[in-house]
Amino acid sequence: MKKSILLLTFLIAAIAGEAKDLKAVVLTTTPQMHCESCENRIKNNMRFERGVKKIETNIAEQTVTITYDAEKTSVEKILDGFKKFKYTARPLKKGEKIKRNENEECPLM
């Protein structure tokens, strides 16, 4: 019985510790994403930023959606993270669509 109560207490504490303030931001980047290498560059660099939990990219829509722990980072710090690998990023306004720049060449090809 004592073991069951101890196990239950541990599980409740673990679940409470997992309850984080997760938020998401949708960004677009410069240079734009052209290929899988562009996506991988963003994902591989941004995954090391403190508080980043999930990164989703969409070449067709030119978006990067980052889910982050708001207790550990902010949108401003995420934007600064892009600068570390010579990209810039900005949050999209609700409903904003980005046109792909056909004149821009992929920096990774």
The residues with which 30 forms a beta bridge, in sequence order, are 88
Which of the 8 DSSP states describes residue 100?
Answer: -
* Interatomic CA distance for residues 4 and 102, integer angstroms: 62
Residue-wise pLDDT tens digits, 15-31 = 655 557 999 999 999 99
Is this structure's pTM higher than 0.85?
no
For residue 7, the model assigns a pLDDT of: 56
What is the H or E stretch that residue 90 is in?
strand 88-91
pLDDT by position in tens, the chain (length 109): 555 665 556 666 656 555 579 999 999 999 999 999 999 999 999 999 999 999 999 999 999 999 999 999 999 999 999 999 999 999 999 999 998 888 888 877 6
From the CA atom positions of the chain, what is the Rg in Å?
18
SS3 (DSSP) at 49: coil
